[in-house]
Structure 1
């Protein structure tokens, strides 16, 4: 039987790579340098959104610090790249999963709430980039996840319709964006959200990790 699925759209942080803690630490350090002090749980609850959205939320709660949301987000991204990016590791089975999808002739997109340049750098550092057909970063769209714009941009580049794609992500924002785009969603419990939250957000399937998804791939695609 031939699958109707032609493309898989992956989130990156918390889905393909274990980077959530590095991002949180980057935010806390960037805020500390700006003399504002959000706590760990507060920052973690904001993960999955674009950097500017996160910065805006922090500034709304903690008051002005002399920086705009754009400036604070830029400082955080610079810190992440300089001090924390080396701590990131690819999740087990990330490379194996991308490789087998690539070998089967499926298009692979990575859609992230981080700037495109940073996404590409992380993918290259983990040698995942060679399986990826297109990358969409937050700086390429007007509205980030949970808005569907980033996913729809990736699909338009691949010339694939929403019904011919699947989104894989660890955050309710990923699932909500997929649902809004008319794309089937798979939740992975390796990052921000548990199985209950992912299902409530609209995930058709939820897996513990990428290994389980890898093992159930034929059930998903056919």
Structure 2
């Protein structure tokens, strides 16, 4: 079946930003007098709501952490860059007639600023960010909202991401799914949980994506 749309996650999929999230949490926790190592942040903060993190530490509230985390993200993401082939892959999709969307739970103010700075915002037909919907991934709402905006049937779209929530959201919405899993992501993710989501494809390099999307090979 010919694909009509490619839906991309942002963090860890188009930009190697997972270390930046670690740094943002460290900046936020420092405001509460907590010096957290990378491993501690990964154990206590990653893939958790701020309210849950607040319960673990007991020295601040979820809303207080949200405020400081946003400040930390704005500082850390000044260093955000794209993966080497990310720009080319998104452009390749557009050049061959696919609609493109960015489907992320990261804050809109943060994401749009980074996309503009990196000169890739105009490569997307639609962008949906945290706060634009009532339910975040793994709920299908962000994906179904993007599909509606692109006027694309779920079966003709591929949800591409690096996290279990990306794959679960895509599957719940009825799209095909592709999990980005390079070796250096293994310290950020529970690999068994990733495989348990049952992605249709797993890839380790962006130059593999055109074939998964039934497009011609990407010419570097």
TM-score range, shorter chain: 0.7 to 0.9
**Which position in structure 2 is the counterpart of 1:12?**
10
**Which position in structure 1 is the counterpart of 2:51?**
56
Which string of whole-angstrom CA distances, capped at 9 and with x for unpartnered residues, describes residues 159-184 of structure 1?
21211211000011111111111111
Instruction: State the distance in 2 between where 1:56 and 1:194 align.
Output: 21
Could you state the TM-score of these two structures normalised by the residue count of structure 2? Answer: 0.86
1:108 paired to 2:100: yes
Structure 2 alignment gaps of length 5 or more: none
- What secondary structure is seen at the aligned counterpart in 1 of 2:13? coil
Structure 1 alignment gaps of length 5 or more: none
Which string of whole-angstrom CA distances, capped at 9 and with x for unpartnered residues, describes residues 132-190 of structure 1?
01111111111211111111111111121211211000011111111111111100014
Instruction: State the distance in 1 between where 2:133 and 2:39 align.
Output: 28
CA RMSD of aligned residues (A): 2.2
Q: Which has the higher helix share?
A: 1
- What secondary structure is seen at the aligned counterpart in 2 of 1:140? coil
Instruction: State the distance in 1 between where 2:211 and 2:147 align.
Output: 25
Select 2:153's aligned residue among 137, 142, 161. Answer: 161
Aligned length: 211
- What secondary structure is seen at the aligned counterpart in 2 of 1:150? helix
Contact 2:179 2:201 in 1 (8 A): yes
Select 2:77's aligned residue among 77, 82, 85. Answer: 85
**Which position in structure 1 is the counterpart of 2:115?**
123
Over 6 Å off, 4+ runs: none
Could you state the TM-score of these two structures normalised by the residue count of structure 1? Answer: 0.85
Select 1:198's aligned residue among 184, 194, 208. Answer: 194
| More deviation, 206-215/153-162 | 206-215
Q: 1:39 to 1:59 in 2, by over 3 A?
A: farther
